[in-house]
Chain A
Amino acid sequence: MRKDFVFVLAGMIPLVCAQTLRKPPPGEGEVSDGLPEWNDQELEALESGEYIPGSSLMGKLAREILDSETQEVIVLDPAIQEIAEEGPKSEEWSKAIGEEYFSAYFRGGGNGYLVDPQELLATQEFRDREIFLNRHARDFIIDCHFYLFDGLQEIPEEESLEALVESHFEDDNPLAVVFYFMGNPRRSQLVFSNRVVDVVKLEDREKVLRLAIEDALEKSDPASQLDIFSIQLSIGLVMLEEIVTKEGGSLLGGKTFVMDEENRPRPNQPNLWDKLISNRWVSNTLLGIAILLPACLLGFRVRRIINKRKTYVFPIAEGSGLLDAPHGAGVGGVLSFVSSTASPSSQKQDVPDYLQKI
């Protein structure tokens, strides 16, 4: 049964192929494949423009639009056009800090390491930064306080960061206070307490702020800028601590190490030279040294010249007959100068010749 089916199928395949490959003879109509067919009348109507393809699908409206000579332009509602883009009402609006925030900013009303009474940061962003600054304060010596302002806001003339640090922070605490302007890190201000100023060079302090601003500017988003700024500032403060420690100073009190001491004027301190000159004994001693030293040098020089010309005559001795040698058997050192890297003492030949041969 199965063999019979195979034979029947094998016989049908050539027939099917022949039917498929057969081309209709010229003049013979195409075999219908189920698609709509054009008749001659429709073709004439299409060529004359009476028939529009797709009109049956697009309906009456499309028919009217297509039949019309001019196409209608869709125009926005004039009422909508009149709505202006919302923006700052004036330049002063963005620069001024509301007086209601003054107490939080400049009267010590703000608590914590991050002061943002204007709520420039979203709640989550504020929490993240606050947590970071708290951790920094817990782990390191120099605390860091941030006061956030809008990018274009101006600090009132009667207020300043220095005044804020002097009035509301204790000098004994090592800390850094920053006025940070959101979206505009270049305007950032940084002031250290006197404890830090006493032990850290100005250039190092400036470098901390500069590096923080440079890193912050690599970001475009104001919140990200603040993140990077605070992180870089934290790193910079840690570096300052390391510098002070390396130089033998301390930020925690006790021994005060003053690096800028050389540059500080000392108007009332008398000069060491003046002190010495004023002492009669010291001045006489210095005078004596000034006379004696050249004399000693001269004497030393003369003695050297005399010694150079000096002759050394040894006592007359009677020799020995060591090794039956008539004149001498004083065998001294033997030095090899083969290696330029080895020391002379390592190139001393102090073994018998027969061992050298071995």
Chain B
Amino acid sequence: MKCPRCVQKIHLGASSCPHCGFSMVHADGVFGSQDIKLKKFSDVAGVVRMKDREPMRKVLENFEAKFPQLFVSVYLGAFEDLNSLRQYGFWMLNRTNYVDVDAQRPNSTGILILVDVNAKSASITFGYALMPYLDENSTFEALSAGHPFFLQGDYLKALKAVIEKLEIPLVRGWRRVRKNPIEVLARGGQTLKGYGSGQKKTGASEPSSGKVGRGEG
């Protein structure tokens, strides 16, 4: 995993970046320590047409139907002077209460697609539950799939392409984790719940309801 500020590799258990000392405290110092409330699709920049909003919502719902434990949120902002899209995405994923996401999907199972319309850049941030399956390369590939549509300003198509592309590493990860859950989860700094008490679960088809609540680490 990489630090949102210095983009250096850090250990999965590091409470702060060993290179630059960055942590959540620093992000709170820049962007504020109060939680914010948002919908999972927020077009603050106002670049998505009204008729495209419903299809956009449909895309997000389809993703949630396919991955019942996960959700995708999209934030389209027009920032005046945003220092770091990575840091802002990191802070937003940790400080946002999504009002239209059910409680069974905590932020740790969320994927945040953050687009700065002014700076013409996009980033992806994801929660702990997805760290075994997603990484910088796979998320960048997903963003690249939407690149031509981003250039055209067609954000609906762009986000649709990005989300569809994100599904590929997730499905691949799902297959891997079915075969060897402990090893795969360990790669993302995760442990199988209950594994320490001697129980070994593959959990490939287990529902996630009530396992990780919102706001839990």
Residues of A whose CB lies within 8 Å of any CB of B are: 308, 310-338, 340, 344-345, 347-354, 357
Contact = CB atoms under 8 A, between A and B. Distances in A.
Contact of A332 (B70, B126, B191): B126
A328 B14 contact: no
B151 A340 contact: yes
A345 B144 CA distance: 8
Interface of B: 1-8, 10, 12-17, 20, 22-25, 65-70, 83-87, 89-90, 93-94, 106-108, 110, 119-144, 147, 150-151, 170-171, 173-174, 177, 181, 185, 188-194, 201-208, 211-212, 215-217
A254 to B, nearest CB: 54
A312 B108 contact: no
A355 to B, nearest CB: 9
B193 A337 contact: no
B24 A334 contact: no
B208 A316 contact: yes
A350 B143 CA distance: 14
Given A322-B13, A324-B23, A313 B208 contact: yes
Contact of B1 (A312, A322, A340): A322
Interface residues of chain A: helix, strand, loop or mixed (majority): loop
9 contacts: A314-B173, A316-B201, A316-B203, A316-B211, A324-B15, A325-B24, A332-B126, A337-B122, A352-B20
Contacts of A315: 177, 181, 185, 192-193, 201-204, 206
Contact of A313 (B24, B189, B206): B206
Given A317-B193, A348-B140, A336 B90 contact: no
Contacts of A319: 108, 127-129, 189-190, 212, 216-217
Contact of A318 (B70, B93, B144, B190): B190
A314 B140 contact: no
Contacts of A321: 13, 15, 217
A85 to B, nearest CB: 86
A329 B89 CA distance: 9
Contact of B69 (A314, A336, A353): A314
Nearest to B193: A316
Contacts of B141: 333
Contact of B125 (A331, A345, A357): A331
B203 A344 contact: no
Given A315-B202, A317-B190, A319-B128, A326 B140 contact: no
Contacts of A334: 85-86, 121-123, 140, 143
A340 B153 CA distance: 12
A323 B127 contact: no
Contacts of B123: 331-335
Given A311-B68, A314-B203, A323-B24, A337 B177 contact: no
A353 B193 contact: no
Contacts of A332: 123-126, 134-136, 138-140
Contacts of B150: 335, 337
Contacts of B136: 331-333, 350
Contacts of A329: 1, 4, 90, 128
Nearest to B19: A352
Please list the 5 inter-chain residue pairs (A to B) with the smallest Cβ-Cβ separation, ordered nearest first. A333-B140, A315-B203, A332-B139, A328-B127, A319-B128
A324 B121 contact: no
Contacts of A314: 67, 69-70, 129, 133, 173-174, 177, 203-204, 208
A351 B8 CA distance: 9
Given A319-B108, A337-B150, A353-B83, A331 B193 contact: no
A327 B93 contact: yes
Contact of B189 (A316, A320, A345, A347): A320
Contacts of A312: 66-67, 170-171, 174
B139 A336 contact: no
B110 A327 contact: yes
A108 to B, nearest CB: 75
Contacts of B173: 314
Given A319-B108, A321-B15, A335-B122, A313 B205 contact: yes
B124 A313 contact: no
A307 to B, nearest CB: 9
Select the residue from A313, A330, A348 with max chain B CB neighbours within 10 A.
A330
Contacts of B126: 328, 330, 332
B108 A331 contact: no
Given A319-B129, A333-B143, A335-B121, 18 more contacts: A313-B203, A313-B204, A314-B67, A314-B177, A315-B192, A317-B190, A317-B193, A323-B16, A324-B15, A325-B24, A328-B131, A329-B128, A331-B4, A335-B122, A335-B123, A335-B150, A337-B122, A345-B144
